[in-house]
Amino acid sequence: MVRDHGELRPATWDEALERAADGFRRTLDEHGGEAIGMFSCSKSTNEMNFVAQKLARTALDTNNIDS
């Protein structure tokens, strides 16, 4: 579901992912990486937590990650 003019409506996966990516880009552009944080599950494997921290640090430009 996506919100258009205050109303929720069904959306395709592509549209929903594009809107989410736009939100991250807008936040990064306006406030930098310190405005974004990521949570990972402490019960995940070490490999999964490693990939999550790599994503946070490289793609989202933030060190704000916790598990």
For the segment 6-59, what is each residue's pLDDT rounded down to a tens digit? 999 999 999 999 999 999 999 999 999 999 999 999 899 999 999 999 999 999
Q: What's the pLDDT at 42?
A: 87
Distance CA 30, CA 49 (A): 27
Q: What's the pLDDT at 6?
A: 93
Q: What's the pLDDT at 67?
A: 84
pTM score: 0.73
Q: Tell me the helices (H) and strands (E) count for the chain, helix number first.
A: 2, 4
Distance CA 47, CA 51 (A): 6
Residue 4's DSSP bridge partners are 7
